[in-house]
Amino acid sequence: MDEIDYSQYIPEDLLEEIEEYEKEIRAGKRKKRNYPSSRDIVLAVKEAALKARGLHPDDFPRIVLEILEEQGFDTSYVTVKRIWRVYEKLVRSGVIPDTLGVVVF
């Protein structure tokens, strides 16, 4: 079977990128993004709490996830419930103030 010359159909820079990606997969060098640890989530919640002044509480988990993704973490298993649990624990222990006004004492 003859090999098809895709250079007629695909731009050369895209073809080179695809070939390099395939080489990485074959060599096992494809780097996976890490999942955030509990400490990483705590730090992201603390940072998001500083940015969250005046925001609606529904937007808070999205901000935390964005911070983690900017740091290169895979956030597919970080749940909204976990983010709120960390937030509440930090507020109750006095580490951060309740800027969102959602924790009842």
pLDDT at 89: 94
Average per-residue pLDDT for the chain: 86
Q: In the predicted model, is pLDDT for residue 30 greater than 60?
A: no
* Interacting residues of 87 by C-beta distance below 8 A, sequence separation 6+: 45, 49, 60, 96, 100, 102, 103
Q: In the predicted model, is pLDDT for residue 6 greater than 70?
A: no
| pLDDT (mean) for 10-15 | 78
pTM: 0.69
pLDDT at 13: 82
More confident residue, 52 or 96: 96
Taking the C-alpha atoms of residue 14 and residue 71, their distance in angstroms, rounded to an integer, is 27
Q: Tally Cβ neighbours within 10 Å of residue 83.
A: 22
Q: What are 39-85's pLDDT values in tens digits?
A: 999 999 999 998 888 889 999 999 999 999 999 999 999 999 999 99
Taking the C-alpha atoms of residue 77 and residue 72, their distance in angstroms, rounded to an integer, is 14
Where does the pLDDT of residue 9 fall: very low under 50, low under 70, confident under 90, or very high at 90 and above? confident
Where does the pLDDT of residue 25 fall: very low under 50, low under 70, confident under 90, or very high at 90 and above? confident
Where are the chain's structural domains? 1-31, 38-92
User: 65 near 78, Cβ under 8 Å?
Assistant: yes
User: 41 near 68, Cβ under 8 Å?
Assistant: yes
Tell how far CA 41 is from the center of its chain. Answer: 10
